[in-house]
Amino acid sequence: MRECLIVGRPNSGKTMFALNFAGYLGAKNIDLTFRNYEGIITCRHLSIEDAKRELCGYTLHKTRSLQSMILNMKVGKATINFKLTDTCGVSEKIHADEAIRKGMAQTISLLRSVDLILHIVDLSFISQDFSNQSPIDLEFYKYGMVRKSYLLLGNKYDLHSAKANLSRLANTFPKATIIPISALYNQGFREVKACVARSI
C-alpha cells in the first residue's frame, strides 16, 4: 500500500492536518496505529473529534511515535486505500528526552521508504531569513527535491501573520510545489487531495 508521510517541526500542525484531512476524505472515526521506536504497536479506535482533543496541542512533542491510519480516496471511478502517517516533529537541537530523540530518528528513518512526503511548515513562524532560522526545514526541502515525490504545505494560513510569509517560504524553497493550507479550518485540502491522488 502506498504511504504518505507527514513531517515538520514540532507544533507546525502535522497532527491537526492528519486528522482533519482524514475527516475531509469522509472518515468519521479512525483506527490509529501507534508504533514507537522499540517497535511496540498499539491500536486505538477514535472519533476524529476525540483524536483532535487528545492528540493535538500547543505543548511541544505531543506526538512521540508514528501514528498511521488507512484512508481511502476516490480517484476517478476507483477507490484507493493509502496509509497516512503522522510523525514526531523534528528539530535541530538534541532533545533531553530519550523518547523524543528516538521519535525524531524514527521520523527520519521512514523518509526513505515512503511514496509521498508532506512537509508541513508553520507560516506564522517564518522570519526573513528562514533557512537559517530553521535548518531542519531546509534539510527536509533538500531531501524532497532529490526524492521528487514531495509537497510543501504552508500551514496556519488562516492567521493574519501567515499571509505575508507565504512569499518568504516560496523564496526560501523556490523549487517546491507549495500549497497554503489551514489544517485547523480545512483550507487548501482540495489541492492537497489532488496532489496526493497523483502519488498513490
Contact set with ligand GDP (CB under 6 A): 8, 10-16, 56-58, 62-63, 89, 155-156, 158-159, 182-184
- In whole angstroms, how close is the CB of 52 to ligand GDP at the nearest point? 8
Does residue 63 interact with Mg ion by CB under 5 A?
A: yes
25 backbone φψ class: left, alpha, beta (φ>0; ψ -120 to 50): alpha
Which of the choices ligand GDP, Mg ion, none does residue 183 contact, using the CB cut-off of 5 to 8 A by kind?
A: ligand GDP
Nearer to ligand GDP, 100 or 176 (CB): 100
Which of the choices Mg ion, ligand GDP, none does residue 59 contact, using the CB cut-off of 5 to 8 A by kind?
A: none
Closest-approach residue to ligand GDP (CB): 13
Nearer to Mg ion, 64 or 172 (CB): 64
Place of cell 486528522: 19
* Beta-carbon-side half-sphere exposure of residue 123 (alpha carbons within 13 Å): 25
Phi, psi (rounded to 5 degrees) for 68: -115, 150
- In whole angstroms, how close is the CB of 16 to Mg ion at the nearest point? 8
Place of cell 502517517: 85
116-122, strands of its sheet edge to edge: 41-47, 29-35, 66-75, 78-86, 3-8, 116-122, 150-155, 178-180
Binding mask 1-40 for Mg ion (x = CB under 5 A): -------------xx-------------------------
Distance from chain centroid for Cα 185 = 15
- In whole angstroms, how close is the CB of 180 to ligand GDP at the nearest point? 10
Per-residue DSSP letters for 90-101? --SS--SSHHHH
Nearer to ligand GDP, 15 or 134 (CB): 15
Q: What is the contact surface with Mg ion in residues (CB under 5 A)?
A: 14-15, 63
